[in-house]
Structure 1
Amino acid sequence: MTLVRSEINWNTRYLTESPYKESVEWSKWSIFWLDERVVPKTSDDSNYKLAMDGFLSKVPIPEANILAIDDTKSKPSDAADDYEARLKDWVDKKILPLSSDNFPKHDLMLLGMGPDGHVASLFPNRTQQFETQRWVTFILDSPKPPPPRITYTFPVINAASEIAMVVTGAELADAVKNVLGTPNSTLPAAKVRPEGLLTWFLDQPAASGL
């Protein structure tokens, strides 16, 4: 299984406890990041640190199966190029398959959404959401700090076999209503249209506008 984490607060507590911790075939898991802040892995702003502290350090996924950002790359453009190159290496080694459109195909992506309708680090009024060739791109002026980030592009996101969109909180209600209740929504989250299955998981406050 290839699992891609974004910055969402996904509850993985049960997977780190019995019987799942002992019964899941962790050696078959590979972990990637939909987006990442260009900061040291020890930073509290790091999605890697969030995932490591809350989940990855508690289960026996082989280190070689965890594809984290190279935090020695201080320039976002270099970090994006490096991450894309390593994805292509996994494809060349037949670890990661390609979609029919020749983008890396992950089994499952965990996505969140911001109040402005952004997903990963693909924001409204930013050109990264329109990228169609690159697998990984970068942003220098994210409206949500810290500003320098790398991110998967929509062709990679939509190549996924399955996407879980997890949205909680009343502050997301307007964006949820826009994406799910408005034909031809222009918010980035409305561009999430995977080849496979898309499932929205909403709490009551987030769904209150529907």
Structure 2
Amino acid sequence: MERVRIFESEEELSTGLADYVAQLSEAAVKERGNFAIALSGGCLIKLMRKLTKGPYVKTVDWSKWHVFWAEEKVVAKKHPDSNYKQAKEGLLSKVPILPAHVISINRCASAESTAEEYEFRIRQLVRNRTVDVSRSRDCPRFDLILLVLESDGHVASLFPNHPVLAEETQWVTWVSDSSAPYESVTLTLPVINSAANVTIVATGSVKAQPFASATGAHPAQLVSPEHGDLVWFVDGPAASLIGRSDIERSDS
């Protein structure tokens, strides 16, 4: 099922996102005993800031969280552009997540080796059921994958017209693209579409055109969970080119 939630401001979107993530966390912990979440970069960590405050910092069962990455640049963890560094400073260091439950991407000799090592770690955690298994294919079933819509329509590190969009067997792959300053590793579309829940966040007027596009040319249009839910969290400027009568509007 696909839904779109529109918020008048980024502040309201941040509150709605915190509520939604907290609800999914509670449901996953009750059902499986764990909450496996994959984060992206960009504006996402800033938008998740409400989770570091009351009531969430006390009511969320952080000990059951296992944090992964939908994408990461192949840079050192302390690099200013590292998604891990941004998440560590803006979220992970402010809530009681167990350090061992943060599955960081370790930079290896090459981007390809980095992707292979990260996929190996995910496979280990699927074997012990920290991460659930897809119902229909050889893929992990994350409880939630959080993505950000970028101005060219890409999500994670899945760029327009890139060969990686056709990847069907690997869980993680590496990407080099002329529009990006660094090589990166990314979850592939089969993994994203095997998740129990996928959320795509779109904020700002620069995202209005890719969000409104229905041509299928943008990688974001390829995100369609097979046995899960896709929910868009969109602010007013990003939704400015669409008719709101056809989609769910959120006032909270």
| Class of the TM-score when normalised by the shorter of the 2 chains | over 0.9
Q: 1:174/1:200 Cα in 2 relative to 1: closer, same or farther (>3 Å)?
A: same
Give the partner amino acid of 2:53.
Answer: E
Select 1:106's aligned residue among 120, 139, 142. 142
**Aligned residue number for residue 48 of structure 1:** 84
Q: Name the TM-score, length of structure 2 as normaliser.
A: 0.78
State the alpha-carbon separation in 2 of the partners of residues 77 and 9 from structure 1. Answer: 26
State the alpha-carbon separation in 2 of the partners of residues 172 and 17 from structure 1. Answer: 28
State the alpha-carbon separation in 2 of the partners of residues 207 and 188 from structure 1. Answer: 18
Structure 2 gaps of 5+ residues are 1-34, 243-252
**Aligned residue number for residue 237 of structure 2:** 205
Give the partner amino acid of 1:18.
Answer: G
Q: Deviations over 1:52-91 (max 9, x none)?
A: 00000011111111111002x1310000000000000111
State the alpha-carbon separation in 2 of the partners of residues 97 and 142 from structure 1. Answer: 35
State the alpha-carbon separation in 2 of the partners of residues 113 and 142 from structure 1. Answer: 18
Give the partner amino acid of 1:197.
Answer: D
**Aligned residue number for residue 3 of structure 1:** 37
Alpha-carbon contact 1:121-1:142 (below 8 Å) kept? no
Q: Secondary structure at the match of 2:141?
A: coil
Q: Secondary structure at the match of 2:68?
A: strand
**Aligned residue number for residue 79 of structure 1:** 114
Q: Deviations over 1:11-48 (max 9, x none)?
A: 22222123321222111111000000000000011000
Q: Shift in Å at residue 170 of structure 1?
A: 0.8
Alignment of 1:23-172 (within 5 A): 23-71=59-107, 73-100=108-135, 101-146=137-182, 148-172=183-207
Aligned-pair RMSD on alpha carbons?
1.2
Q: Name the TM-score, length of structure 1 as normaliser.
A: 0.93
State the alpha-carbon separation in 1 of the partners of residues 190 and 149 from structure 2. Answer: 18
Q: Which has the bigger relative contact order, CA under 8 A and spacing at least 6?
A: 2
State the alpha-carbon separation in 1 of the partners of residues 129 and 235 from structure 2. Answer: 38
Indicate the percent of aligned positions where both proteins have the same amino acid. 41
Deviates more, 1:14-23 or 1:124-133: 14-23
- Residue 19 of structure 1 pairs with residue 55 of structure 2: yes
Alpha-carbon contact 2:202-2:234 (below 8 Å) kept? yes
Alpha-carbon contact 1:41-1:48 (below 8 Å) kept? yes
Paired residues in the alignment total 204
State the alpha-carbon separation in 1 of the partners of residues 163 and 54 from structure 2. Answer: 45
Structure 1 gaps of 5+ residues are none
Relative to its length, the structure with more helix (as a share) is 2
Alpha-carbon contact 1:123-1:142 (below 8 Å) kept? no
Q: Deviations over 1:89-140 (max 9, x none)?
A: 1111221111021200011111111111111000012111110100000012
Q: Shift in Å at residue 142 of structure 1?
A: 4.8
